Structure formats: C-alpha cells, structure tokens
C-alpha cells in the first residue's frame, strides 16, 4: 500500500515536472501576420512585449519584412482621374506617396468618390456635377479602393508607393511564397515596417 502510494507520489511529481516543462513551451508568446498581395494582414498587430511575431507569405510573389517607414516622394505631383462614360480613367492609378489625385467628372450624370471603410485613408468627396473636380493628397502608402455610390459597380483603385526609409532593426530579405520570417519584440513600443520589394505595403507592430 505504502509503496503504491509513494509510487503514485513520484508519478505525480514527474507529471508536474513534465507539465511545467510543456506549459512554459506552450505559453511562449507567438502571433502571426499574413503577407497577402500588396498588404500585411493585419496591418496593425498589438502584442505583449516578448512576443515572437511570425510573418507567413500567403501570396504568390516574394516580399520582405523590413523595419522602417515608406516616406513621401520629394517631388509630389498631380495625378488626374477622369470620370467618363461611367468609368474611372484610369481605373487603377499608381502614384507616389505625397502626390495629389484630382478626379474630374466629364459625364452629364452626378458622381462621387467614397473610399472603402477600414482603410488608413478616409475620404468622401462632395457630389460632383459635370466638369466639377475634387482633389485628395495621398499621405499613406498602400492600395486604396474607392467607389461611386451613385453608380453601382463603378469602382477605382489607387496604388501608392513610398520611398523606402529602413531603420535597420530587422530585415527579412526576400520571403518566398509559403516561407516565413520571425522576430521577437522584447521592448515595448510601436514598430513600423514595410516591404522593400514593392514599397507599397506598410504596417506596424505595437508591443505593450
Ligand atoms: Cu511586397
């Protein structure tokens, strides 16, 4: 009886030791950001200090995770989008961060520019009558979708590219499709990063 009891005590002690070991392993802080087509998902991730963040490339192209910012271009310009025959022309506009978009309504019908919600840029233009225009300076890198609520199916896109300004804290180099990169954020703070292959994707880790 005694030997059975002591045996079970030893078993319990061993169980506790092994459980402590696997407990500390599974409690190690981890979080994942997915690399998608020209965006990091989520674009803002809040973690506890000490967390290891893993970026997984879920796109079909290679990207990087490079600490720093995408800055405005030193020589910003105007970029024109015409609204003609109920189409945005061009439908997809590439520009540099700092450039200003000017939409001009060349239709008889009223049109309006409304950015999709949940993007870093919020914008709703006044309704535009024929030959009226509206402007917006783009101050963030990224892909921005917009639509005209007056015309179902009328959508446009802006792809804003910044000037890379790495700060040297981390740089994955090229991450191929399906591959991963990890970095541990031991110090509280806000850490911005971007992809230096495209200079469009910008995101941040907030470590508490
Ligand atoms: Cu990229």
197 C-alpha vs ligand 1 centroid, how far in Å?
Answer: 5
194 C-alpha vs ligand 1 centroid, how far in Å?
Answer: 8
Residue 191 lies in a domain: yes
DSSP per position, 32-75: EEEEETTEEESSEEEE-TTEEEEEEE-SSS-B--EEEEEEPPSS
200 C-alpha vs ligand 1 centroid, how far in Å?
Answer: 7
102 C-alpha vs ligand 1 centroid, how far in Å?
Answer: 27
Angle in degrees, CA 45, 49, 50, rounded to 5: 110
Residue 12 lies in a domain: no
What mean pLDDT, rounded, does the chain reach? 90
Whether residue 79 is found in the same domain as residue 129? yes
**Cα torsion angle, 32, 37, 42, 44, sign:** positive
pLDDT band at 120 (very low <50, low <70, confident <90, very high): confident
Residue 16 lies in a domain: no
Mean pLDDT across 153-171: 97
Whether residue 84 is found in the same domain as residue 57? no
Q: How many CB atoms lie within 10 A of CB 30?
A: 13
**How far apart are alpha carbons 105 and 162 in whole angstroms?**
28
Look at the chain and report how many structural domains it folds into. Answer: 2
List the CATH number of the domain containing 48: 2.60.40.420
Answer yes or no: pTM beyond 0.85.
no
Residue 8 lies in a domain: no
Whether residue 93 is found in the same domain as residue 144? yes
**How far apart are alpha carbons 163 and 4 in whole angstroms?**
72
53 C-alpha vs ligand 1 centroid, how far in Å?
Answer: 18
The DSSP element (H or E) to which 204 belongs, if any, is strand 202-207
37 C-alpha vs ligand 1 centroid, how far in Å?
Answer: 7
Whether residue 81 is found in the same domain as residue 132? yes
**How far apart are alpha carbons 140 and 144 in whole angstroms?**
10
Whether residue 64 is found in the same domain as residue 84? no
Whether residue 84 is found in the same domain as residue 157? yes
The DSSP element (H or E) to which 14 belongs, if any, is helix 2-26
Mean pLDDT across 141-167: 97
Whether residue 35 is found in the same domain as residue 88? no
Q: What percent of the chain has pLDDT over 90?
A: 85
52 C-alpha vs ligand 1 centroid, how far in Å?
Answer: 21
| pLDDT of 19 strictly over 90 | no
Residue 105 lies in a domain: yes
138 C-alpha vs ligand 1 centroid, how far in Å?
Answer: 19
Residue 2 lies in a domain: no
Which of 154, 157, 94 is closest to 121 using CA atoms?
157
142 C-alpha vs ligand 1 centroid, how far in Å?
Answer: 11
pLDDT band at 31 (very low <50, low <70, confident <90, very high): very high
95 C-alpha vs ligand 1 centroid, how far in Å?
Answer: 16
Residue 51's domain comprises: 25-70+163-207
């Amino acid at each position: 009886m005694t030997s059975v009891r002591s045996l079970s005590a030893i078993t319990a002690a061993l169980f506790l030791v092994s459980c402590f070991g696997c407990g500390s392993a599974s409690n190690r802080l981890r979080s994942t950001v997915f690399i998608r087509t020209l965006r990091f998902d989520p674009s803002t991730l809040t973690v506890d200090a000490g967390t290891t963040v893993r970026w997984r490339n879920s796109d079909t192209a290679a990207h990087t995770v490079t600490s720093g910012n995408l800055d405005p271009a030193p020589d910003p310009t105007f970029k024109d989008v015409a609204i003609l025959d109920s189409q945005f022309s061009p439908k997809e506009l590439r520009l540099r961060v700092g450039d200003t978009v000017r939409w001009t309504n060349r239709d008889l019908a009223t049109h309006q520019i409304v950015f999709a919600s949940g993007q870093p840029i919020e914008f709703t233009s006044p309704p535009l009558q024929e030959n009226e225009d509206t402007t917006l300076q783009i101050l963030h890198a990224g892909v921005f979708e917009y639509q005209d609520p007056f015309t179902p199916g009328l959508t446009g896109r802006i792809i804003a590219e910044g000037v890379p300004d790495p700060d040297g804290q981390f740089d994955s180099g090229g991450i191929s499709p399906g591959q991963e990169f990890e970095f541990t954020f031991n110090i509280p703070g806000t850490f911005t990063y971007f992809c230096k292959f495209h200079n469009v994707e910008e995101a941040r880790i907030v470590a508490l």
